[in-house]
Structure 1
Amino acid sequence: MNLAINGINTSAVKDVNTLKTSPGKAQASFANVLKNAISNVNDLQVLSDKKTEALALGKIDDLHDVMITAQKASITLQATVEVQRKAIDAYNEIMRMQV
């Protein structure tokens, strides 16, 4: 059956049973996504530090690029901290649930 919802072709969607994965694979996948995200945040922070240092030493003179890089690093770090807080709040809420 070929259904189109808002221009999305659903004929390519597989059966739900074929999309199941084991808990171990899901954990490994989540761990990899989390590791890559944290690595990305770190890379942006390091790049910002390098550009700021190069600006201070007079090696580059594009202040706009340095400021944009610093803001990207700052926003990414703030978003990461917010996600961390939400994850901790969710964990604490789950721990308070009575079974």
Structure 2
Amino acid sequence: MSITQINKLQPMQLLEHLNTKNSGTSSQYDFRNIFLEAASNVVETQNDVAKEQYLFATGQSEDTHSLGIAASKAQISVDLLVNLRNKALDSYNELMKMSL
């Protein structure tokens, strides 16, 4: 068994990769898409928690740790969404403070 070395990706290489990948089209990494993806991730993880809670409550769950894992994932996704919203509001407020 051999371990392959992971090369560090330089920031400029990442930008060049994104520019060549999305040239001529709207960027898939714009804020709207990131925010929508985070919101859908929250819904998905909340559904997973509800499913795991049901399985645990009815005794159908074979592994008891899956409920805790699902709850942690849901909490992290909510935290990410809240932080994205806060950063967006902070940015908007800073833009409104600028004089033209």
Task: Give me the whole-angstrom Cα distance separating, in 2, the residues matched to 1:7 and 1:85.
Answer: 29
Q: Unaligned regions of 5+ residues in structure 1, if any?
A: 1-5
Give TM-score, length-normalised by structure 1.
Answer: 0.67
**Most deviating of 69-78 and 56-65:** 56-65
Query: Residue 35 of structure 2 corresponds to which residue in structure 1?
Result: 34
Query: Residue 50 of structure 2 corresponds to which residue in structure 1?
Result: 49
User: Would you say how many aligned residue pairs link Structure 1 and Structure 2?
Assistant: 88
Task: Give me the whole-angstrom Cα distance separating, in 1, the residues matched to 2:90 and 2:70.
Answer: 30
Task: Give me the whole-angstrom Cα distance separating, in 2, the residues matched to 1:7 and 1:78.
Answer: 27
Give TM-score, length-normalised by structure 2.
Answer: 0.66
- Identical aligned residues as a percent: 31
Larger Rg: 1
Relative to structure 1, is the Cα distance of residues 19 and 46 closer, same or farther in structure 2, using a 3 angstrom cutoff?
Answer: closer
Query: RMSD in angstroms over aligned alpha carbons?
Result: 3.3
Equivalent AA in structure 1 for residue 83 of structure 2: E
Q: Unaligned regions of 5+ residues in structure 2, if any?
A: 1-7
Task: Give me the whole-angstrom Cα distance separating, in 1, the residues matched to 2:9 and 2:79.
Answer: 35
Bigger relative contact order (CA 8 A; separation at least 6): 2
Q: Displacement, 1:21?
A: 6.1
